[in-house]
Structure 1
Amino acid sequence: MRRLVPLTVLLLALSACGADHPAGTSASDPTPVTATPSATGELPPGCEPPPDAAEGDSWICVRTGDGGPDAEAANRERLAAQARESPGWSDEDAQRADEERLRQVAEQDDALVASGALPADRGPLLVRTDFSDQGRWDALLTTVDTPTAEGFRPSLSTIEQQRWNGASVSDVAAAAPPHVLVVVADATTFATPALPLLVAEREDDGVQEQRVVARALASVVDDLSTHTKDWEEFAAGADADGVFRGSP
């Protein structure tokens, strides 16, 4: 599984005092922040101390940030910079933290594949169910990751594993937690130049779905995630073939 762009904010406190091998997070593209309680005892939102933190300790909160072609190098540089600013940390500590984070992500992904479930804590998911054309898949990722004229990109966690090869939207929706948006890249997607993806969500009374071209995906994911628009509005705005190509 690899990240396309960041999705939810996932925070994990890393002890910076008395820790020889700091642990990492399960989120990609981390932006580290030093956390020290203020005079009022308040901490940055979502940043909690590690269980073994002592009074006066500082620790590292790692959260997701914007991705990009140089994201991996930027991640390492930010970790290294944070290490240099944090007492007791070195560049090697930052490197180990980054490697541990990636290892934990891989372990979680392997466990999910074995269970046949899709993750509940990574926001909207882009699931590849057709592996017949790597070039078309790469073109899709490029299109989806290209900001719109307004500067929007969909926040998606990419699922790219052979277990889902040939899976139907019903299979994917059944494996996803309720109320998690799932974007399916299937054979129909790659058969058309506009790359129409199938956006679906499992609700209490069934599965909602709408075919959306890749360049219009950002607005659809954002509007559905924030409840700015509902499924009926996108269906009403679709063309005669049932594909939503963006608002006029």
Structure 2
Amino acid sequence: MPSTLPSTECMLVVRTDFSDQGAWEAVRAAIGEPDEGGYLEDYMLGVEYVDDVTYRELPVEQVVGLLTDDYESSLLAVVDEATIRSPEMPIVLVDLNELNEEYGRTMRVVPAELPSIEVNVHIGNMDFFEFADNADEDGVFRGFPE
């Protein structure tokens, strides 16, 4: 049985697929790419990567169950098999805001959009559902229509 996830103020990005080290490194690099809004510097202080084979192939629900009570972020990101195998690298994002009626709702998001979501949800500018409701038909949020 895997141990609980680290207690942190940061949003965790948990790796559950270990089939391709290069793809994992590409996901990490894509999350760290500068965004047009200039949020990168502030955002990068709010991410902690969990790269531990203990969490290999765990379903998202089980990963959520390993969070500690003092986990402060209202979001959790999971890099699973679908993330690793897709050229777009859509990461699973989970809403952990207990005040939301849809606690535990998930969507997929391309890495380039993750910083904007994290920042806007963290400062209370937007809610998770505003992004999830604007995901494409395949359930992946790629940004708001222009």
> Shorter-normalised TM-score: what interval?
0.7 to 0.9
AA paired with 2:116? Answer: S
Deviation at 1:222, TM superposition (A): 1.0
Structure-1 residue corresponding to 2:117: 220
- Among residues 172, 187, 194, which one is paired with 2:88 in the alignment? 194
Gaps of 5+ in 1: 1-113
SS at 1:218 equivalent: helix
Residue equivalent to 2:11: 124
Letter in 1 for 2:37: E
In the TM superposition, what whole-angstrom CA distance separates every residue of 1:189-239 from its partner, at most 9, and x where no partner exists?
112111100111335464122210111111011112222111221122111
Matches within 5 A, 1:158-237: 158-177=49-68, 180=73, 181-204=75-98, 206-237=103-134
Give the conservation status (yes or no) of the 8 Å contact 1:177–1:202.
no
Taking the TM superposition and a 5 Å limit, the aligned residue runs for 1:116-155 are 116-153=3-40, 154=43, 155=46
Question: For residues 55-104 of structure 1, what are the alpha-carbon distances to aligned partners after superposition, in whole Å with 9 as ceiling and x for unaligned?
Answer: xxxxxxxxxxxxxxxxxxxxxxxxxxxxxxxxxxxxxxxxxxxxxxxxxx
Q: More deviation in 177-186 or 140-149?
A: 177-186
The alignment's C-alpha RMSD in Å is 1.9
Code of the residue aligned with 1:169 in structure 2: it is: V
TM-score with structure 1 length normalisation? 0.50
| CA distance 1:203–1:219, change in 2 (3 Å) | closer
User: What aligned pairs does 1:54-65 form with structure 2 within 5 A after superposition?
Assistant: none
Instruction: Note closer, same or farther for the CA distance 1:175–1:201 as it changes in structure 2 (3 Å cut).
Output: farther
- 5+ residue gaps, structure 2, are none
CA contact (8 A) 1:176 1:202 kept: no
Flag the structure with more relative contact order, 1 or 2, with Cα contacts below 8 A and sequence separation at least 6: 2
CA contact (8 A) 2:95 2:128 kept: no
Query: What whole-Å deviation, never above 9, does each CA across 1:155-205 have from its counterpart, x for those lacking one?
Result: 310100001110111011111146632110000111211110011133546
Change (3 A) 1:186 1:115: closer
Q: Could you say which structure has the larger radius of gyration?
A: 1
In structure 1, what is the Cα distance between the partners aligned to 2:3 and 2:96? 16
Q: Which amino acid aligns with 1:164?
A: Y
Q: C-alpha separation between the residues in 1 aligned to 2:55 and 2:143?
A: 28
